Each structure stands twice: as C-alpha cells, then as structure tokens.
C-alpha cells in the first residue's frame, strides 16, 4: 500500500530564512543525530568564516566615508541599504541548496559590514569608542555562548517562541522606521534594548531548531544566526555609545 503523504504545514508568520525544514514523513529520510551534528558544525564554521567579509565590508565602508552618505541623506540612505539587504536575503534563500549559497552568504555579510560603517565612524569620534566597540563584541559573544549552550544542552523544544518573536520583530521594525522620522532619543534606547532581548531569544530559538533537526540547511541556519548576532552587536553598541560614550 502506498504511504499517504500529508501536506507539510508552513508557518506563514515566519520569513523564508527562518522556516524550519519539513518534518520526516513515511518513506522520507529521517534526520539522525549525526546529521544534526554535521549541520550544526557546518553552520558554526560558515558563521565564523562569514565574519571575515563582514570585517572587510566595515573596513571598506569606513575607507570610503560611507557615514557621510547617512549624514546627507539620513532617511533615504538607511532605507536604500535596508532594501538592498532584504533583497540579498531572498537571493541567499533562493540559492540555499547550491554551492552559490555560500557566496551569497559572503556577499550578504559584506553588505552588512558596510552598513556598520556609519556607527563605527561615529564610535571613532568618541574618546572611548574603541573600548566600547570591543566591549560590545565581547558582550555579544557572551550572549551567543550562553544562548547556544542552553539551546544545545536543554531538552526543551523552543520552537513555540517563533510566533511571539516574529510579532515582536515586526513591531520593532515599525518602531525603527518611525524613529527615522521622529528622532526621539528615548525611543532609540527602547528599540535597542528590546532588540537585544528579541534577538537573544531568536538565538536560543534558532540554535535549538538546528539541534532538534528542525533546520537541516546549514546555509539558512548560518543566515539566521548571523542576523541574530549582527543585530545584538549593533544594538548593544548603540546603548553603550548612548550611556557610556565620552564625548569631548
């Protein structure tokens, strides 16, 4: 008798790069523990390598004084760059099952590095800017270590967080876009603080999805973790510059 295959439910509340892999069905290949470990290992390796084009992009952005573009066009420049990044997200998603996906990841992380340039240039104008950048990096690494450890060691399934986090992410994006026009310092602080919490929880959710076999594509897994780490770093640095920046 032919096995009856049921349609795989897709969580429409999650963007394409956060969609879990479909669960195993009758006659389908079951994800084994060794396969999960391989996906996790490949994800961590690609994530580490993706930091190189990110650094290269940040260097390139600062060398061409990319921050000046944000000063002359404080609204259009961020919107255009966000649009470019979202476009590249879908390119990575489209190429996730080929070797070109790795190059697409590197291209996306390079552009993300360029996006860091205005903040890094601002930090360079602060007396303790270098220390704050290093501190933000250390704090981001600590958050990643803690969340990844919990997600790996815990036997709990954290997939239930997905819908709540996505709603929070949409509200966060709306608030961020609104503040491009409003320029309210208190709103900027609130957005950054909430962003750190949301993306820290996303780290827990995304690593747990890999460990439990819910995500079997290491390119998409790398993209999700990179976005988590990137946003945690940016928002921690923003908070540090607001509260601890020593201006002349």
The Cα 143–Cα 200 span in angstroms is: 7
pLDDT of res. 8 = 35
pLDDT at 142 over 80: yes
The Cα 174–Cα 128 span in angstroms is: 31
How many Cβ atoms are within 10 Å of 181's Cβ, its own excluded? 9
pLDDT at 225 over 80: yes
Each residue's pLDDT tens digit, 147-206: 999 999 998 999 999 999 999 999 999 999 898 888 888 999 999 999 999 999 999 999
pLDDT of res. 23 = 44
DSSP the chain: -PPPPPPPP--TTS-GGGPPPPPP-TTSPPPPHHHHHHHHHHHHHHHHHHHHHHHHHHHHHHHTTTHHHHHHSTTHHHHHHHHHHHHHHHHHHHTTTSTHHHHHHHHHHHHHHHHHHHHHHHHHTSTTHHHHHHHHHHHHHHHHHHHHHHHHH--S--TTHHHHHHHHHHHHHHHHHHHHHH--HHHHHHHHHHHHHHHHHHHHHHHHHHHTTS---HHHHHHHHHHHHHHHHHHHHHHHHHHH----
Please answer whether residues 10 and 19 qualify as being in contact, where contact means their C-beta atoms are separated by less than 8 angstroms: yes
Q: Which of 168, 126, 28 is nearest to 134 (CA)?
A: 126
Q: How many residues does the chain have?
A: 248
Each residue's pLDDT tens digit, 12-45: 445 555 655 444 443 334 456 788 889 999 999 9
Percent of the chain with pLDDT over 70: 87
Please answer whether residues 208 and 154 qualify as being in contact, where contact means their C-beta atoms are separated by less than 8 angstroms: yes
Global pTM value: 0.85
Q: Which residues of 36-64 are buried (b: 16+ CB within 10 A; e: fewer)?
A: beebbebbbebbeebeebbeebbeebbee
């Amino acid at each position: 008798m032919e096995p009856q295959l049921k349609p795989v439910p897709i969580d429409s509340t999650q963007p394409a790069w956060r969609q879990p892999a479909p669960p195993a069905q009758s006659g389908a290949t079951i994800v084994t523990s060794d396969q999960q470990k391989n996906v996790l290992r490949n994800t961590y390796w690609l994530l580490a390598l993706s930091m190189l084009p990110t650094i290269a992009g940040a260097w390139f952005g600062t060398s061409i004084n990319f921050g000046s573009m944000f000063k002359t066009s404080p609204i259009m420049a961020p919107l255009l760059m966000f649009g470019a990044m979202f476009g590249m997200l879908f390119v990575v998603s489209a190429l996730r099952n080929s070797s070109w996906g790795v190059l697409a990841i590197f291209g996306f992380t390079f552009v993300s590095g360029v996006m860091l340039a205005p903040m890094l240039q601002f930090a360079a104008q602060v007396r303790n800017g270098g220390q704050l950048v290093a501190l933000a990096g250390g704090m981001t690494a600590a958050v990643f270590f803690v969340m990844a450890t919990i997600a790996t060691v815990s036997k709990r399934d954290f997939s239930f967080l997905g819908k709540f986090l996505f709603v929070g992410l949409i509200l966060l994006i709306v608030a961020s876009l609104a503040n491009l026009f409003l320029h309210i310092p208190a709103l900027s602080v609130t957005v950054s603080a909430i962003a750190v919490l949301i993306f820290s929880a996303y780290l827990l959710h995304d690593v747990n999805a890999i460990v439990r076999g819910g995500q079997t594509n290491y390119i998409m897994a790398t993209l999700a973790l990179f976005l988590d780490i990137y946003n945690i770093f940016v928002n921690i640095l923003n908070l540090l510059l607001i509260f601890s920046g020593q201006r002349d």
